[in-house]
Structures are given as C-alpha cells and as structure tokens.
Amino acid sequence: MDTKALLKKVRKIEIKTRRLSDNVFGGEYHSTFKGRGMTFSEVRQYQYGDDVRSIDWNVTARYNEPFVKVFEEERELTLMLLVDVSGSEAFGTQTQFKRDYLTEIAATLAFSALQNNDKVGLLLFSDQVELFIPPKKGRSHILRIIRELLEFEPLSKKTNISIALEFLSGVLKKKAIVFLMSDFRDSDYEKTLRIVSKKHDLTGIRIYDPIEAALPNLGIVPMRDAETGKLRWINTFSKSMRRNYALNYAKHVNQFEEGFRKNGAGQLSCSVQESYVKKLLGYFKARL
C-alpha cells in the first residue's frame, strides 16, 4: 500500500471510529473501566446533604464552621491492545477480512481511551511478538497504532497466544485494561491466560467468519492452510470429514469461552457479518 492510499485509509478509519467513540462508547468505556481509586482534591464548605464522614475536622476547627474533603477518581488508566496478525486473520468471505474488522474494533477502543485521557499500547503477535508499541497518550500515537494495524506484515503466519500473554506479563508491571483480539484458533494458552487475568482486567474478543464453522459440501476441493501454507485436497462429500471439521472448530470455540469464563476474564464473539458496535455496547453495559 503506497503512502497516499495508506493515509487515506487511516483517515477513513479515524473518522468512523472516532465518531463512535465520541458519541457512543466514550461514556460506556469510562463507566465500565474504573480508575485505581479516589484521591484528595480539595476542601470546601459543608453543604446540606454532604456525608458527615467526609468532614475535615482540622479545617472545621480552624475556621469554626464545617468543611468537607472532596475526592475525585484517580482516572488515568492504561489500555493494551493485543492483536493477532497471523495468517488466519487474512480470511474473509462476504463483507470484509477478519483483520480489517479487528482494526476497526481496536481503533474504536483506542479513541475511547484517548477521550478519557488514558494511555494506549499495542502488541501485534503471531507465534512470536511481531511488534510492541509502549502505552502513550495523544492522537498522533493512536494514528500510528492504526497505521501499524493496517499495513504491518508479520514475519510468521502461525499463532501462539501464550507467547503474547507471557510478553505482556513481563512488560506491564501495573494493572491495565487488556483486550486480546484473535480468532483463537490455538490451544494450550490457559495457563498464561490465568496468570494475566489475575493481574489485569482482561477481555477476549473472538473474531470469526460464519463460514469457518462448517465445511460446505462442494466435492473434492483444494484448500490451503493460511498459517502453514500447506495445500491439501479435501473431500467435502464425506460426512465424517465435515463432522470432524465442525467438531474441531467447536472445540476451539468452547476452549475460548470456558477458559476466559473460568478465569474471571471477559469474553465476547463477533462475526465479521454483524455490527461490533452492538456487541461492545452490550458487553460494556453487562459489566456495569
């Protein structure tokens, strides 16, 4: 993608996702993800209805009239986006590729964090950490994240979710809001999932195309594995072949849902053929 085309695409995504974050998600994001606690702000004169437990007795004694302490939420948080850029994310049939869909979701979350003055970081992964952008604030930083999501070419097409979670544990010492976005066509990541979910506010977003769930009956067809590059001829006439494929797909979905639920992490699944806006809003409201 040349520079002009890239900038045009970045701008298009910014306009769409920033409008969503400003008008739809900003308030929900703020309400869902709380700050680290309350910090002292100021003292003011007591007003009818104030909690008597907040009276500052030292100031009250000095001025011979009641004053109360005012606290405000210590708001600054860190949002970390972990995005799968393996070969399977380049799949799509009718509306768009999974990676394009992931980019829009990530951009919407990033602008929602920006609106709340939070830091945002990005980790792109395959079966290795492909790119790490440390958390920072600012519009130019968010635009850089979008550019990387759009044009980054991974070194590997395979997937290893544990590698990404282990790296995150090593670089983020303070609690963060973490969104892990993938199709979760992987296994053996529950141990690292358990560790990360204890330390951070973790949510998994599974992105899928409905056609991935079941093989259509098309006869004997060539299929190339997006992650290994291997080409195989598949007999889709075979009922047992279609059944085994469906069972394997369901196994990965169940592992994702049960793994996140069991470890106290949030999780939702979004089809590339449906609105992620409704799914995210529903998730935010369910957490309030």
* pLDDT for position 194: 95
**Same domain as 140, residue 238:** yes
In sequence order, which ranges of the chain are alpha helices (DSSP H)?
Answer: 3-20, 26-32, 57-63, 98-115, 139-151, 161-171, 190-199, 239-262, 276-287
**Same domain as 196, residue 69:** no
**Same domain as 206, residue 68:** no
User: What percent of the chain lies above the pLDDT cut of 70?
Assistant: 85
* pLDDT for position 180: 97
Average pLDDT of the segment spanning 149-164: 92
Q: CA–CA separation, 212 vs 93, rounded Å?
A: 10
* pLDDT for position 27: 65
Pairing label, strands 38-45, 67-73? antiparallel
Average pLDDT of the segment spanning 229-253: 82
**Same domain as 147, residue 44:** no
* pLDDT for position 248: 83
Q: CA–CA separation, 163 vs 147, rounded Å?
A: 23
Q: CA–CA separation, 20 vs 15, rounded Å?
A: 9
Taking only the tens place, the pLDDT of each residue in 270-284 is 998 888 888 888 888
**Same domain as 79, residue 64:** no
**Same domain as 196, residue 240:** yes
**Same domain as 246, residue 144:** yes
**Same domain as 123, residue 246:** yes
Query: Is the model's pLDDT at 2 over the cut of 70?
Result: no
Pairing label, strands 177-182, 78-84? parallel
CATH number at residue 99: 3.40.50.410
**Same domain as 43, residue 25:** no
- Domains contained in the chain, number: 2
Domain that holds residue 69: 38-73
The CA angle 194-199-205, to the nearest 5 degrees, is: 60
Mean pLDDT of the chain: 84
**Same domain as 47, residue 120:** no
This prediction has a pTM of 0.77
**Same domain as 233, residue 188:** yes
